[in-house]
Amino acid sequence: MKKLIRIVTLLFFAFVALGSSVCGVLLYGHVKTLNNLITTRFDTNRWQIPARVFSRPLELYPGKNISAEDLIKELRFGGYQQKNKKLAEGEYKTKDGVVFLKTREFDFLDGRQNSIECTVYFTDDRITGTYDTVTQQPLEECRVDPITIGSFLPETGEDRILLSHEDLPQQFIDTLLAVEDKSFFSHIGIDPKGILRALYLNMRAGRAVAGGSTLTQQLVKNYFLSNERTLRRKFDEAIMAFILEQKYNKEEILVAYCNEIFLGQKGKRAIHGFALASKFYFGRELSQLDLAEIAMLVGIIKGPSIYNPIKHPERSQNRRDIVLKILVDNKLIDHEQYNNAIDTNTLNFENDRVNQSANFVSFIDLVQRRLRQSYSKEDLTSQGLLIFSTLDPVIHSKAQSQFFATVVKKDKSQTKKLQGAYIIGNRHTGEILSLMGGLHPRIGDFNRALDAQRQIGSLIKPAVYLTALNLGYTLTSIIDDHNVSLSDQSGTTWQPANFDKKEHGRIMLYQGLAYSLNLATVNLGLEVGLANVADSLKKLGVKKDIALYPSLLLGSVELSPLQVMQMYQSIAASGFQTPLRAIRGVLNQEKKPIQRNRLSVEQHFSPSEMFLLQFALQEAVRVGTGKRLKQILPMHDKIAGKTGTTNNYRDSWFAGFTGEILGVVWLGSDDNDNTGLTGSSGAMVAWGNIVKNIHYNDREPNPPLNIYWQKVSPPQIKASNNHITHPLYLPMLGTEKTNHNGTRESKQRNTTLQDSVESIFDSILNIFN
């Protein structure tokens, strides 16, 4: 019996030893797997960093058209805070109409710019002086860092801005560790004392009031593991925290935690890391936050949805006060600092609300499409590219607001079917300053500014008249406005008519365009040839196959607002075609330039021909179909533009330019219903309201040297009392004895390359003067 007991005992210990060995082998294998997981993910690219899109930088210099109000608005868009004391980076103050600001250090396309304190003086919505506040020396330019208008998120939706250890303020580190992990610099990844303390406090309270996880364990759970509450996950978390502490130093772990932590959600965008959270909630860098703001930010960790300071301000402030109490109890701040922080209002999130008032979705869509011509989706969602765009945030905010208000007012049916799109840009550089593809665009929506192919109606007419001018016609050439009847091979008859259903007989060429006379345009177009008109359209930048039907002459061709914008840019820039730009350049994650979109120009028409066409378009606004624009912009006497209306009032268009501004507006319904709007009653009103509310350089290019002015008495347009004409001076090419005021002779001078160069330099100088 004793022998049997001994055998059983030996077998038991043998099985225990064998089981222990097997468990040891299995445990070793599991630990090795966890170690490999850490090494694989943590030693390579730890995070996918989305490409970030910036607006254009704000350049302040004497002579720039901008009001103090608009400057302050853009500063607040960028998270600048108003202060009445000595300024730190990212702050400004005002006194007697003068703006004082201190810029932030920033990496621009042309290199890093250090912070500078600048004083800006204004007179009548124009900068009259920029000075270095410290030295009082004049500055040629004060450049303010651009605002972030969007990013291209990976499929996880995670957005973050990476921090280094040098970016972490000591007060922030002290606050974070006091609240989340007091023994961070002494434990080995897990803290047994902390676990026992949390267990005791929770048992005494009868509920979970304290956690025992170290900061390292939190990092492991957030970065490597799921949120499932199982013993297996807690076991893996402890093992991995220990491994992490053995492989990496405390600084690396702290920085990784600060970049990984989840701190909020906005739609599909997940806010990760303290750098992005600081900008998201307070509009400033982490290094610029005060004690109360740091306490609020650290307080969010406990529950990003519960303590979201935008959605739950009072709850968030109570949590902030608890954090401040922890700091004073641990003697990290004194009672005076504590009381001052408690009394600080950290719930002013006006900056965030201002930012959200501007919807950049449609513009970002254009930027992304342009980028995908050169970069993969992975590049845009994981490589941390910095995209410098052309968007002007103040113009965009105002244009968007005016556009929305006009469309809502014009939706007479109240069916909310009326839609629209607009593009505002610089006529000389081709830079797009603002773009909207619908009334309430969201990510993934149909972008009407880019994709809506609509008949353009009378917007095509400048191409017909330009073709005639290019073939030797003048503004005073006589053309016929009489009925036309054309039949195709099937016997179908096309009989266009004027809007007023009347004929106007023999008129001057410029009148046909100014009054948008369909019959005159068709007769002229047939004279110059459909193929020539189509060629002019291509030279103006219309890149699509054009069917040579007579209806082309009245705008049966379908274009998007962006394509129309390119066409009119060539007209507005005096024949110098510049591809429309939404991107100025790109920096990689190391802040090195990898793409610069330089200004490129092609000339297809002479500045002289374009000057004549521009004059006719100015007449269209002065006395023609666009004359109601003067009711909106009574002080603007150099607006050139063209209305467009399609059959059954399906489309309302206006394209126009003045000073440095060029804009295209389209209104219509997605199902092609009758809108009841003409180009002048719909799109032109929206265009006028936008331009009325923005500041821009209103200088016009100088006339080419071979232009003289001739006094003429144009034929009376009999159809309407609205079409009364008076003697006026018209620009002409060649030799004559009088200019526009009859005081000086002008000799014949052929358009030469020198004229072209002089004109384009005039145009470019307008950008900087």
Name the residue among 584, 526, 592 with its Cα closest to residue 553.
526
Evaluate the CA torsion angle 7, 12, 17, 23 in order and state its sign. positive
pLDDT at 357: 47
Cα–Cα distance, 620 to 511 (Å, whole number): 8
**Average of pLDDT values for 466-484?**
96
- Cβ-in-10-Å burial (0-12, 13-18, 19+) of 758 comes to middle
- Does the pLDDT of residue 40 top 50, yes or no? yes
Cα–Cα distance, 572 to 253 (Å, whole number): 57
- Does the pLDDT of residue 350 top 70, yes or no? no
Of residues 597 and 276, more confidence is placed in 276
Least confident stretch, 283-292, 447-456, 482-491? 482-491
Q: Find where tokens 């144009």 sit.
A: 714
Name the residue among 605, 689, 690, 677 with its Cα closest to residue 643.
677
- Does the pLDDT of residue 22 top 50, yes or no? no
- DSSP, residue by residue, 284-325: S-GGG--HHHHHHHHHGGG-TTTT-TTT-HHHHHHHHHHHHH
Tokens standing for residue 736 = 């004559």
180, 237, 431, 660: the active-site residue: 180
pLDDT at 717: 79
Q: What is the CA radius of gyration of the chain?
A: 34
Q: How confident is the model at residue 8 (pLDDT cuts 50, 70, 90)?
A: very low
- Does the pLDDT of residue 354 top 50, yes or no? no
The amino acid that residue 370 corresponds to is R
Q: Model confidence over 487-527: pLDDT tens digits?
A: 877 778 899 999 999 999 999 999 999 999 999 999 999 99
In angstroms, what CA-CA distances link 428 with 338, 568, 662, 692? 56, 11, 9, 20
- Does the pLDDT of residue 122 top 90, yes or no? yes
The answer to whether residues 56 and 389 touch, using CB atoms and an 8 Å cutoff, is: yes
In angstroms, what CA-CA distances link 129 with 76, 87, 140, 254, 473? 21, 20, 9, 46, 48
Name the residue among 612, 605, 621 with its Cα closest to residue 658.
621
Q: Model confidence over 55-91: pLDDT tens digits?
A: 999 999 999 999 999 999 999 999 898 988 899 899 9
Of residues 276 and 346, more confidence is placed in 276
Q: Find the Cα–Cα–Cα–Cα dihedral 260, 264, 265, 269, rounded to 10°.
A: -30
Q: How confident is the model at residue 403 (pLDDT cuts 50, 70, 90)?
A: very high
Cα–Cα distance, 435 to 425 (Å, whole number): 9
Q: Model confidence over 214-259: pLDDT tens digits?
A: 888 888 888 776 666 666 666 777 788 888 888 889 999 999 999 9
Is 350 an active-site residue? Answer: no
Q: Model confidence over 160-178: pLDDT tens digits?
A: 988 999 999 999 999 999 9
- DSSP, residue by residue, 427-480: TTT-BEEEEESSSS--TTS--HHHH--EE-GGGGHHHHHHHHHHTT--TT-EEE
- Does the pLDDT of residue 332 top 70, yes or no? yes
**Average of pLDDT values for 603-609?**
94
pLDDT at 226: 63
Q: Model confidence over 291-331: pLDDT tens digits?
A: 999 999 999 999 999 999 989 999 999 999 999 999 999 99
Helix (H, G, I), strand (E, B) or coil at 157: coil
213, 458, 570, 763: the active-site residue: 458
Name the residue among 367, 175, 167 with its Cα closest to residue 276.
167
**Average of pLDDT values for 260-288?**
90
The answer to whether residues 596 and 587 touch, using CB atoms and an 8 Å cutoff, is: no
Name the residue among 652, 692, 614, 715 with its Cα closest to residue 622.
614
pLDDT at 758: 44
Q: What percent of the chain shows pLDDT beyond 70?
A: 83
Is 180 an active-site residue? Answer: yes
Name the residue among 472, 536, 532, 481 with its Cα closest to residue 511.
481
E-strand ranges in 133-233 read 142-144, 148-152, 158-159
In angstroms, what CA-CA distances link 83 with 94, 131, 344, 383, 766? 9, 19, 14, 36, 35
Least confident stretch, 185-194, 459-468, 647-656? 185-194
- Does the pLDDT of residue 200 top 70, yes or no? no
pLDDT at 718: 58
In eight-state DSSP terms, residue 548 is -
Name the residue among 324, 311, 322, 319 with its Cα closest to residue 271.
311
pLDDT at 752: 37
Q: Find where tokens 């008129």 sit.
A: 507
**Average of pLDDT values for 565-581?**
95
Q: Please name the residue ranges forming H helices in 495-606.
A: 509-514, 518-528, 530-539, 561-572
pLDDT at 282: 87
**Average of pLDDT values for 429-456?**
93
Q: How confident is the model at residue 763 (pLDDT cuts 50, 70, 90)?
A: very low
Helix (H, G, I), strand (E, B) or coil at 679: coil
What's the pTM value of the predicted model, to 2 decimals? 0.84
Q: How confident is the model at residue 6 (pLDDT cuts 50, 70, 90)?
A: low
**Average of pLDDT values for 521-548?**
96
Name the residue among 366, 557, 312 with its Cα closest to residue 459.
557
- Does the pLDDT of residue 16 top 50, yes or no? no
Pairing of strands 386-389, 51-54: parallel
- Does the pLDDT of residue 737 top 80, yes or no? no
- Average confidence score pLDDT of the chain: 85
Helix (H, G, I), strand (E, B) or coil at 20: helix
pLDDT at 609: 95
pLDDT at 81: 87
- Does the pLDDT of residue 263 top 80, yes or no? yes
SS3 per-residue string spanning 344-393: CCCCCCHHHHHHHCCCCHHHHHHHHHHHCCCCCHHHHHHECCEEEECCCH
Pairing of strands 91-95, 81-82: parallel
Name the residue among 647, 661, 684, 676 with its Cα closest to residue 454.
647
E-strand ranges in 28-145 read 51-54, 58-60, 81-82, 91-95, 98-102, 106-108, 111-113, 117-123, 126-132, 142-144
Cα–Cα distance, 657 to 661 (Å, whole number): 6
Tokens standing for residue 627 = 């004359």
In eight-state DSSP terms, residue 699 is P
